[in-house]
Structure 1
Amino acid sequence: MSKTLHFGVFEVMGPQVGGTYSWAHPRSEGLSYLDPQHWIRMVRILEDTGFDFLFFAGGYGYPLIDGDLPHVATEKAINFPSLDPDYLIPIVAQHTDRLGFVVTQSTGLDHPVQLARRFSTLDHLTGGRIGWNIVTGASQNAIADVFGHDSMVPHDTRYEMAAEYVELAARFWETAWDDDAFVGDAAAGIFARRDGVHRVTYDGAHYRSRGYFGAPPSPQRTPVLFQAGTSPAGRAFAASNAECVFVQATTPERTAAAVADIRRLASEAGRDPEAITLMCGLTVFVGETEADALRYEAEFDAMQTDEIVASLYAGNTGIDLLALDPDKTLHQVLDAGGPIGQMGTSNIERFLGDAEGTGAPTVREILDQLRGRGTRGFRIVGSPIQVADQIESLIAATDLDGFLIEPVFAPHDLEDFGRLVMPILRERGRLRDGEAGNTLRARLSETPGNDRLGAAHPVIASPVTAG
């Protein structure tokens, strides 16, 4: 039986997504990102054509080269600027009944109780259609600067902090209120039972709490937990915590290996490896004909430059490719004691080759490979049937469960994909449309009524002190 596929859309509340340049193309409406009607139109397209969720990347980071914001980042809007999509979600949710919404929030910038209340609010306002993309930070050099930190928090320490952060947030969501604590009896004048509201006591190495959670339980209580991380620490964290994992798309072979490794780690953590939804990014150029799609691709590629690639890569890894010898590999940074290890580790290690460095591309080859790709995943080009065929081929080669479509000329290319490709996948039995009233967790798990994280989930399975 064919695997049911899941589709989301990867966006930012900015002019464009993916670390590439496209907002100035005539097909793009990227400059409308401040207009709520732009997003209302988009969510209606996604809901009507069968997407599962709209995903917003986000954060306070931006590209830095030699400690400063590069000109190309501001001129071409490469991962700069961006706004907070949290405030947009309640607006667009009112124009949908089934579409989910996923918001990125870092684990290291505030206390878990602040994030927990924010997501409880969003889950209530969307009727249980919210997800949290857990990140330990991106563009850590920029984050350290803008928040006034003396140095970057070490990579693996960020994941240790994240494990505590998620655990404490989940305890607020799952244990602070009993299921029947809310009464809402106006005649009796009783809002909630005092014995159904519990103190959460937590004493970790990085976070502590000994108080009550003022947000009543939302439809999902805990938002659907998303996570992206391909480093060893990131995979281990995802396998223990995430319900939906974004895997870096490099080659089908490497992606398949990452998928298999996360499923293995999940099994070792006592979880059902098949219950985790694994997805990666996908850029699609599709038109009524193959010629149309190839024209869109060529016009997009013509807009990209080495400077754009270098700006994006520096923001992710701290490495300025244009300052390196183009005929040597990234090992020149290692040999000079550079910043490898604290930022963008997966986006560095992919270019280092094997243990001896064999197979590592030169800097010139990296620039060529990343031009037009940025942080994007796989790329597919063709007619509707060709695109549907290539999607199914990627699924067969990788064991992925779906894709995040990374728009180039939004919302027009999303409309094209929904109108031209989704019906073909539906006819092939690859899509299962969500029902109005279902939570995001129920939709992704394909199990109506599966709204809760579950007491057996590792993040809440440990004993809790309540009072």
Structure 2
Amino acid sequence: MVKRMRLGVFEVAAVQVGGTLSWPHPRSRSIEYTDPTYWVEVAKLLDDAGFDFLFFAGGYGYPTVQGRLHPLSVTGGINFPGIDPSYLIPVLAYETKRLGFVFTSGTGLDHPVQTARTFSTLDHLTGGRIGWNIVTGSSQDTIARLFGHDEMRKHDDRYDQADEYLELALRFWQTAWDDGAVEEDREAVRYADPDKVHEIEYAGEYYRSGGWYATVPSPQRTPVLFQAGTSARGRAYAAHNAECVFVQGTTVAATKANVADIRARAAEEGRDPDSIRIMVGVTVTVGETHEAAVAQRAEFDALQTDEVVNVLYSGNTGIDLLSLDPDRSLEQIVADGKVGQLGQSNIDRFLPKDGSPAPTVRQILDQLKGRGTRGFQVTGSVTEVADELERLMDETDLDGFLLEPIFAPTDLEDFAHWVVPELRRRGRLPEEPSTGTLREQLIGTGPHLSNHFGAALQR
């Protein structure tokens, strides 16, 4: 029996996704990102095609080069500007039947009780179709300055803080209300049983809270917990906390190693490693023929430049590639204590390992051009695309993919029209899309947490 493929779409409520340049192309409509009717169209397409979820990245950060907003970020729309996607989700949920919605929320800005209430509310409004992508932050220098902080926390310290943040949020979701606490008894004029509503008292290193959580349990209680981080500390966090993990798709060998490491760490935590859904980003360009797909991809590649790459990479890692010696590797600047505290995965991938030489700055620019923060690149006919997606799953033990469109939503329309039926024919996708809460559809369990330390907290 072949392994079922899970499918999501990686998007941003911004000019374009992935830190590349594509919005000027006539195949792209991403500049309509402030129009809810555009997103309704996308969500309905994915809902009907059987995708599991629509994922929104986002945050307050933006690309800077040496502390300054680069003019190309503005003129090119490179990860700047954008809107808060969470406000779109109730609209999209109302217009769809089964599609899940996931959005990014950081652990270093709001208090956990604010985040808990937001996700409880959205889980109610979507009928249990919400997920939380937990991030410790990106563009941390930028955000620290924007919010008036003296300095950003170190990379691993942010994960320590995130552990505590999630623990407190889980206390609100899992322990504040017992099952059956809500009675809604009109005759007795009794909405809930006070003996089944509990005070939360928490005092940690980073957060404190005392009082009652004034939001009733939602269909999932806790949103489906997503996490994206391929650094060693990120993988450890994912193995302990996440139900669905995004790993960075650089090479098949590296992806296979990261997947195996996360599953092994989860087993050490006492979790069933196969219950964790591990996915990777993939940009798919599909055409009726191989030649048609290659020609379409070439139109995208022609829009990319070194400057576009540099703006994105600097915003993610704090490293200005164009200021470095192009013939040397990143080792020339890693000794700087600040470098390596953000965008760790995108630094580690270009440092020497396994005895192989590290790529030069010039090679890094060439490798990232047209790719940005995207994962695997797949271009070809329907058969070629389906073959490659199956190969990636089988060789790495991945559970599925997040499509990262270059020309949105046209790429998604092409995938739904051509590739989805082929994947169904091969048994990788079910004939009829699954239904239920996002956790039931994606994880395959009941609506509430299971195989997770938070499950033991539920009253």
Q: In the alignment, what sits opposite 1:353?
A: 352
Deviations 1:298-350 (Å, cap 9, x if unpaired)? 00000000000000000010000000000010011124x25322111111011
1:102 counterpart letter in structure 2 = V
Q: Is the 8 A contact 1:313 1:320 kept in 2?
A: yes
Q: How does 1:120-269 map to 2 (within 5 A)?
A: 120-269=120-269
Deviations 1:31-58 (Å, cap 9, x if unpaired)? 1111111001001110111100000001
Structure 1 pair 166–174 and aligned structure 2 pair: CA distance change class (3 A): same
Deviation at 1:461, TM superposition (A): 3.9
Q: In the alignment, what sits opposite 2:415?
A: 417
Q: Give, in whole Å, the separation in 1 of the partners of 2:53 and 2:90.
A: 14
Deviation at 1:96, TM superposition (A): 0.7
Deviation at 1:107, TM superposition (A): 0.6
Deviation at 1:23, TM superposition (A): 0.7
Identical pairs, percent: 60
Q: Is the 8 A contact 1:170 1:222 kept in 2?
A: yes
2:326 counterpart letter in structure 1 = P
SS in 2 for 1:151: coil
Q: In the alignment, what sits opposite 2:361?
A: 363
Deviation at 1:30, TM superposition (A): 1.1
Q: In the alignment, what sits opposite 1:453?
A: 449
Deviation at 1:459, TM superposition (A): 3.7
Provide TM-score, normalisation by structure 1: 0.96
Deviation at 1:17, TM superposition (A): 0.3
Q: In the alignment, what sits opposite 1:73?
A: 73
Q: Is the 8 A contact 1:280 1:404 kept in 2?
A: yes
Q: In the alignment, what sits opposite 1:429?
A: 427
Deviation at 1:291, TM superposition (A): 1.8
Q: Give, in whole Å, the separation in 2 of the partners of 1:79 and 1:42.
A: 20
Q: Is the 8 A contact 2:50 2:434 kept in 1?
A: no
1:95 counterpart letter in structure 2 = E
1:111 counterpart letter in structure 2 = H
Q: Is the 8 A contact 2:107 2:161 kept in 1?
A: yes
Q: Is the 8 A contact 1:275 1:445 kept in 2?
A: yes
Q: Give, in whole Å, the separation in 2 of the partners of 1:460 and 1:403.
A: 27
Deviation at 1:66, TM superposition (A): 1.2
Q: In the alignment, what sits opposite 1:341?
A: 340
Q: Is the 8 A contact 1:226 1:243 kept in 2?
A: yes
Q: Give, in whole Å, the separation in 1 of the partners of 2:329 and 2:80.
A: 28
Q: Is the 8 A contact 1:171 1:460 kept in 2?
A: no
Q: Give, in whole Å, the separation in 2 of the partners of 1:255 and 1:195.
A: 49
Q: Is the 8 A contact 1:236 1:265 kept in 2?
A: yes
2:350 counterpart letter in structure 1 = F
Q: Give, in whole Å, the separation in 1 of the partners of 2:202 and 2:295.
A: 57
SS in 1 for 2:334: helix
Structure 1 pair 71–338 and aligned structure 2 pair: CA distance change class (3 A): farther
Q: Give, in whole Å, the separation in 2 of the partners of 1:230 and 1:99.
A: 27
Deviations 1:373-426 (Å, cap 9, x if unpaired)? 000000000011110001001111111000000011111110100110011001
Deviation at 1:435, TM superposition (A): 3.7
Q: In the alignment, what sits opposite 1:109?
A: 109
Q: Give, in whole Å, the separation in 1 of the partners of 2:137 and 2:433.
A: 32
Deviations 1:96-124 (Å, cap 9, x if unpaired)? 11100001000110110000000000000
Deviation at 1:201, TM superposition (A): 1.4
2:199 counterpart letter in structure 1 = R
Q: Is the 8 A contact 2:281 2:374 kept in 1?
A: yes
Q: Give, in whole Å, the separation in 1 of the partners of 2:174 and 2:438.
A: 17
SS in 2 for 1:184: strand
Q: In the alignment, what sits opposite 2:386?
A: 388
Deviation at 1:453, TM superposition (A): 0.6
Q: Give, in whole Å, the separation in 2 of the partners of 1:374 and 1:167.
A: 33
Q: Is the 8 A contact 1:9 1:404 kept in 2?
A: yes
Q: Is the 8 A contact 2:334 2:340 kept in 1?
A: no
Unaligned runs of 5+ in 2: none
Q: C-alpha root-mean-square deviation of aligned residues, in Å?
A: 1.3
Q: Give, in whole Å, the separation in 1 of the partners of 2:278 and 2:343.
A: 20
Q: In the alignment, what sits opposite 2:315?
A: 315
Q: Is the 8 A contact 1:20 1:374 kept in 2?
A: yes
Q: Give, in whole Å, the separation in 1 of the partners of 2:130 and 2:52.
A: 11
Q: Give, in whole Å, the separation in 2 of the partners of 1:33 and 1:353.
A: 39
Deviations 1:251-273 (Å, cap 9, x if unpaired)? 00000000000000000001000
1:352 counterpart letter in structure 2 = L
Q: In the alignment, what sits opposite 1:324?
A: 324
Q: Is the 8 A contact 2:184 2:192 kept in 1?
A: yes
2:402 corresponds, among 397, 401, 404, to 404
Number of equivalent positions: 458
Unaligned runs of 5+ in 1: none
SS in 2 for 1:123: helix
1:453 counterpart letter in structure 2 = L
SS in 2 for 1:421: helix
Q: Give, in whole Å, the separation in 1 of the partners of 2:255 and 2:414.
A: 27
Deviation at 1:11, TM superposition (A): 0.3
Deviation at 1:355, TM superposition (A): 7.2
Q: In the alignment, what sits opposite 2:13?
A: 13
Q: Give, in whole Å, the separation in 1 of the partners of 2:258 and 2:22.
A: 30
Q: Give, in whole Å, the separation in 2 of the partners of 1:97 and 1:195.
A: 36
Q: Is the 8 A contact 2:130 2:223 kept in 1?
A: yes
Q: Is the 8 A contact 1:304 1:372 kept in 2?
A: yes
Deviation at 1:289, TM superposition (A): 1.7
Q: Give, in whole Å, the separation in 2 of the partners of 1:272 and 1:365.
A: 40
